[in-house]
Each structure stands twice: as structure tokens, then as C-alpha cells.
Amino acid sequence: MEILEKIFSKPGKVKFGNIHLLALLVNGLYRYHQDFVTTIIDNVLEYVVLGLEQNEFKYNQRRIAEVKYLGELYNYRMVDNPVIFDVLYRILTFGHGKHSMRALAIMLIQGTRWPANSW
């Protein structure tokens, strides 16, 4: 069970284009293993905060993958609005410059499903 928890909690290990499939699997697992899914979401939130606190350049891709994963979990109604707003607030208040703004922009784009060419 620990191996599965590790796999589902680290979206940075999955191809960026397949993160939505990981969220889809979590959505399917929720019906049968609610505690497991709660642990996964808690781990992802903890990794986002940890990444913001460390603010190391080599972990930026991982952090962006985690934020996209949260956005996809929100799309599948696995995470509520207050959780998303709390993460957005933390990204803004840590204030590490343009990197935090990029993560915020990706979260907003993935969470609301805007067309990619609207920029």
C-alpha cells in the first residue's frame, strides 16, 4: 500500500500530459478507498508547501506538476474550493517571484480548462 501511496502522491514522476489520468484513477479509487485518497491529497498539499518553502530551482518542474495535479483533482471534484484558494493564497504569499506566478497561472489554466491558445 505504501508503494501505491508514493506513486499517486508524486505526479512529477508521471509524464506531464498524463497527470489528468492519474487524477482520474484517484477519482475512481475514491469510491472504494476513501482514506487512501485523503492521504494522497494530503501528501500532495504537503509537497506543494514544502516546495514553496525550499524554493530550489531544480524542483520547479515537480512543483508545477503538483499544482497541475491539484487542478485536475479539482476538476474531478476531489478537492473543494477552500483548499484550492488556500493553495493559491500560499503561492502568492510565499512571494518567490516569477516562479510562483507561473505555478499560479498553470493552476488557474488547468483548473478552469481555458483553451491553450487564448493567451
Give pLDDT tens digits along the chain (119 positions).
789 999 999 999 999 999 999 999 999 999 999 999 999 999 999 999 998 888 888 888 999 999 999 999 999 999 999 999 999 888 877 765 556 566 666 666 666 554 455 44
13: CB partners within 8 A, 6+ apart: 7
Confidence (pLDDT) at 100: 56
Cα–Cα distances in angstroms (integers) from residue 10 to residues 4, 16, 70, 117, in the given order: 10, 12, 11, 28
Confidence (pLDDT) at 102: 67
**pTM tops 0.85, yes or no:** no
